[in-house]
């Protein structure tokens, strides 16, 4: 059974989200502060974290930073902030989705299930694809580069898998988002560069090696099978 950690300083929100997700068939634990959340992630690693952005003391962004140092667990950010910059910052830190307060518990469940579907390789077509020395297995949700396994977040995996599916074809940021999510969000479009940058760090064996994910100026990105260096 999937384990979800819900982090929010509002007891009513914790109770609402926990009750709804438990009725939906998930195992749910809760935390009210950043330190509590980090301790729970270490002691009982969850399959997904629902994380409030505006926590007292250590806020949600700091918690996300700490989690991303050691874990690729999917993160859904909850935020009452309406500015795009706040949402983009969370996405750039590695969040896989965000939900704006006020929200319905049903919306939370839908977002949770969507993230799990992506993590489980819900795409149609071949479950294992390979291009340019990169191999992705949708069933196992695993990726290898030149035989070396790399740990990716859910969104990083989706982006890499989409590029592997279309080698040497350049995509705009918006096209990448539509390809991996089926819809686009303006905030996610701005955060694509950060996710691509992290992907590059993870899949390149050494800084001087040729980059597989190439910047196509005026367009976006492509997975190159020709060993062209990335120019940022």
What is the predicted pLDDT for the residue at 72? 82
Q: Which contacts (CB < 8 Å, 24+ apart) does range 173-176 have?
A: 173/220, 173/221, 175/220, 176/220, 176/221
Residue 140, Cβ density class (10 Å: 0-12 exposed, 13-18 middle, ≥19 buried): exposed
What's residue 187's pLDDT? 54
pLDDT at 141 over 60: yes
In our burial notation (b when 16+ CB lie closer than 10 A, e otherwise), range 107-135 reads ebbebbebbbebbebebeeeeebebbebb
With respect to CATH, is domain 128-223 assigned 1.20.140.10? no
- Evaluate whether the domain defined by 3-119 bears CATH number 3.40.50.2300: yes
DSSP at 231 = -
Range 166-187 average pLDDT: 75
pLDDT-derived band of residue 30, with 50, 70 and 90 as boundaries?
very high
Greatest mean pLDDT among 15-19, 69-73, 183-187, 206-210: 15-19
- pLDDT of 99 above 90: no
Residue 52's SS3 state is: strand
Question: What is the reported pLDDT for 190?
Answer: 67
Domain boundaries, the chain: 3-119, 128-223
- Could you read off the pLDDT of 10-20 as tens digits, one per residue? 999 999 999 99
pLDDT at 173: 84
| pTM for the full predicted model | 0.65
The residue whose two tokens read 């980090």 is 38
């Amino acid at each position: 059974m999937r384990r979800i950690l819900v982090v929010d300083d509002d007891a009513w929100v914790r109770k609402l989200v926990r009750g709804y997700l438990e009725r939906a068939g998930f195992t749910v634990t809760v935390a009210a502060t950043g330190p509590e959340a980090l301790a729970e992630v270490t002691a009982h690693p969850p399959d997904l974290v629902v994380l409030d952005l505006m926590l007292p003391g250590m806020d949600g962004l700091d918690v996300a930073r700490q989690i991303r140092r050691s874990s690729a667990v999917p993160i859904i950010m909850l935020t009452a902030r309406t500015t795009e910059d706040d949402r983009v910052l969370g996405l750039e830190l590695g969040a896989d989705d965000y939900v704006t307060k006020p929200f319905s518990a049903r919306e939370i469940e839908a977002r949770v299930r969507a993230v799990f579907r992506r993590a489980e390789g819900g795409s149609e077509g071949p479950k294992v694809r390979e291009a340019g020395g990169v191999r992705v297995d949708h069933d196992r949700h695993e990726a290898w580069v030149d035989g070396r396994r790399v740990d990716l977040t859910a969104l990083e995996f989706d982006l890499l898998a989409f590029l592997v599916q279309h080698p040497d074809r350049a995509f705009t940021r918006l096209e990448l988002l539509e390809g991996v999510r089926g819809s686009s969000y303006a905030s996610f479009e701005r955060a694509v560069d950060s996710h691509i940058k992290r992907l590059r760090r993870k899949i390149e064996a050494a800084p001087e090696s040729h980059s597989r994910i190439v910047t196509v100026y005026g367009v976006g990105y492509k997975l190159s099978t020709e060993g062209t260096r990335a120019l940022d």
